[in-house]
């Protein structure tokens, strides 16, 4: 029995249909109620509408990605009790519908960051790039965040000055718009696609974290977990936290889910079987100090959901998405560890033995250029990745 093959689907506006997914061999769908604003409770009737469409095509709603954690929960604002109450109601309703896995993150303001959404690799395929000096140029010279320059070493500041000086006003606007809106709006980002004065509004959100460092953000996560885990366990829903992307500080914001030490602390907050990890090889591999094989081994029993993709390192803390099998990640070893864990779970009678994975992001290739898709989510490139990973795990299974 291999890891469950799943696919991220973005709701009614997704150009990929359930019928397409069934033809592709997808077993489970990963999706969210994208039309419900973050912080509001998910009604049973809205959950069942999506679930019925999935099941009509012979698949299951495998993972909710994501039930967004509102900024008010992360900063501990006055409306936190109501936001947590709404989150709890959503978990109860999901459990009542038989949906058993929820992926969430605790990243402040910005869920993920890339500076180039159309980066060309050596064979001409298109992926996404995070260039640290370019991000510094955005932060210091375009966003003009107060004190931003002090967050970067001198060599990066110099490169950022040169980059900012070489950009036209239109290029500066495109860079800011991509970072703040294009990569965020389709996943319950804090600022919508039609927002005016979006850079000023973004700065306002950043300022809410002026007094919140790593320890305070950890305390707020611990409070959130204490409130929701007993409910999740009773509802039969596993909660799996997604790593920070990239797993190092940006924009003066704290990061608490990017290293092995971070995940040790997070897992120590509760031994509830509902408390788990989304093991995202793409996010974690963006930091060269992370040993993903060691992390997969250490946290195997707590992994509830898997994102598989690869990265390639560049100078200056930069990286680009290099597909699924090729790059810095030892995908063979990771998948072998996961398959061995799956066997242990089945042998011990654990209910969560399916261990769903999805091909995370993908190279833009072939007919992807004639299709509309969210950044990082081309159809053909992800299908290629799913086929590669499925072939690899099939071979490993035969070997085992």
Q: pLDDT tens-digit profile of 287-331?
A: 999 999 999 999 999 999 999 999 999 999 999 999 999 999 999
Question: What is the predicted pLDDT for the residue at 329?
Answer: 97
C-alpha torsion sign, points 218, 220, 226, 229 = negative
Structure-token match 């990973």, residue found: 389
Task: Decide if 388 contacts 362 (C-beta within 8 A).
Answer: no
pLDDT at 196 over 80: no
Q: pLDDT tens-digit profile of 46-79?
A: 999 999 999 999 999 999 998 999 999 999 999 9
Number of H helices, E strands in the chain: 14, 12
Residues of the chain with pLDDT > 70: what percent? Answer: 100
| pLDDT tier for residue 195 given thresholds of 50, 70 and 90 | low
Q: What are phi and psi of 184, to 5 degrees?
A: -120, -35
Active site residues: 242, 280, 307, 360-361, 377
Q: Which residues face 129 on adjacent strands?
A: 116, 320
Would you give the DSSP letter of residue 299?
Answer: H
The two beta strands, 126-130 and 319-321, are antiparallel
Question: What is the predicted pLDDT for the residue at 109?
Answer: 95
Plot region of 109 (φ>0 → left; ψ -120 to 50 → alpha; else → beta): left
Q: What is the 3-state secondary structure (H, E, C) of 318-387?
A: CEEECCCCCCCCCHHHHHHHHHHHHHHHHHHCCCCCCCCEEECCCCECHHHHHCCCCCCCCHHHHHHHHH
Q: pLDDT tens-digit profile of 356-378?
A: 999 999 999 999 999 999 999 99
Question: What is the predicted pLDDT for the residue at 190?
Answer: 83
C-alpha distances (whole Å) from 392 to each of 330, 333, 388, 398 are 12, 10, 6, 10
C-alpha torsion sign, points 252, 253, 258, 261 = positive
Q: Return the closest-CA partner of residue 335 out of 300, 360, 287, 361.
A: 300
Average pLDDT over residues 154-160: 97
- Rounded to the nearest integer, the mean pLDDT of the chain is 96
| pLDDT tier for residue 186 given thresholds of 50, 70 and 90 | confident
Would you give the DSSP letter of residue 143?
Answer: S
């Amino acid at each position: 029995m291999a890891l469950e093959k799943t696919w991220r689907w973005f709701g009614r506006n997704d150009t990929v249909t359930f019928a397409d997914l069934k033809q592709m061999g997808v077993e489970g769908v990963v999706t969210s109620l994208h039309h419900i604003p973050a912080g509001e409770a998910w009604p049973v009737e809205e959950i069942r509408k999506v679930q019925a469409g999935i099941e009509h095509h012979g698949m299951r709603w495998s993972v909710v990605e994501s039930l967004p954690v509102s900024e008010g929960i992360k900063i501990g604002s006055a409306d936190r009790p109501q936001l947590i109450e709404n989150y709890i109601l959503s978990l109860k309703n999901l459990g009542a519908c038989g949906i058993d896995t929820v992926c969430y993150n605790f990243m402040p303001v910005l869920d993920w960051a890339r500076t180039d959404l159309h980066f060309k690799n050596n064979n001409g395929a298109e992926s996404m790039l995070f260039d640290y000096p370019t991000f510094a140029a955005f932060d210091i010279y375009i966003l003009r965040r107060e004190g931003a320059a002090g967050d970067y070493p001198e060599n990066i500041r110099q490169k950022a000055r040169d980059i900012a000086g070489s950009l036209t006003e239109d290029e500066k606007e495109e860079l800011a718009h991509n970072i703040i809106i294009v990569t965020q709006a389709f996943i319950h980002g804090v600022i919508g696609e039609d927002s005016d004065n979006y850079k000023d509004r973004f700065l306002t959100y950043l300022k809410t974290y002026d007094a919140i460092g790593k320890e305070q953000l950890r305390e707020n996560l611990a409070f959130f977990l204490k409130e929701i885990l007993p409910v999740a366990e009773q509802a039969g829903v596993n909660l799996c936290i997604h790593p920070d992307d990239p797993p190092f500080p940006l924009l003066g914001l704290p990061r608490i889910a990017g290293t092995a030490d971070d995940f040790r602390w997070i897992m120590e907050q509760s031994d509830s079987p509902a408390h788990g990890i989304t093991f995202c090889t793409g996010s974690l591999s963006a930091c060269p100090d992370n040993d993903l094989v060691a992390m997969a081994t250490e946290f195997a029993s707590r992994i509830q959901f898997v994102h598989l993709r690869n990265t390639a390192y560049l100078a200056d803390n930069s990286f680009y998405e290099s597909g699924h099998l090729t790059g810095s990640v030892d995908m063979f070893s990771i998948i072998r560890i996961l398959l061995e864990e799956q066997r242990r779970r089945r042998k011990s009678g654990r209910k969560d033995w399916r261990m769903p994975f999805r091909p995370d992001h993908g190279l833009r290739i072939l007919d992807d250029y004639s299709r509309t898709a969210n950044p990082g989510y081309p159809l053909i490139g992800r299908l290629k990745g799913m086929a590669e990973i499925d072939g690899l795990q099939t071979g490993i299974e035969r070997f085992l």
